[in-house]
Amino acid sequence: MGSEVKAMRDGKLSLDEAYIRFQKNELWLIGADISHYANAGMWNHDPRRPRKLLLHSREREAFAVKAKERGLTLIPLRVYFNARGIAKCVMGLAKGKQLHDKRQTIKERDTQRGLQRAMRRR
């Protein structure tokens, strides 16, 4: 929608919790937050609605095969405007952490926090 593009040009796009899902032979951007555009009035958009991503069929099939593999998730890395003014989304494949990896990360963070506290007390 037009108000979404104008808000993105103002830098009001957040991809923090966003991911890309493959549904019915289409790619959808889910969880991206594009804030309201102030001058749109009553024709503003829903900030967190799913948005369809347009790709060539060969690109879509390549991403679909990889996204359906166990543990891989498509995530949007950044959104930019090309020379023609069209919004483009750079995507990446990510592998989620297992439960034991998360515990290890939390343990390392806690030990680093304890070391920092000890260093400040000295």
pLDDT digits (tens, 9 = 90+) for 58-98: 888 888 787 777 768 888 898 899 999 888 888 888 887 77
pLDDT score, position 84:
92
pLDDT at position 110 is 92
Kindly tell me if the per-residue pLDDT of 42 is higher than 80: no
C-beta separation of 73 from 98 below 8 A: no
CB atoms within 10 A of CB 34: 24
The domain 2-96: what is its CATH number? 2.40.280.10
Q: Is 51 helix (H, G, I), strand (E, B) or coil?
A: strand
Q: Is the pTM of this model over 0.75?
A: no
pLDDT at 15 over 80: yes
Mean predicted confidence (pLDDT) in 32-38: 80
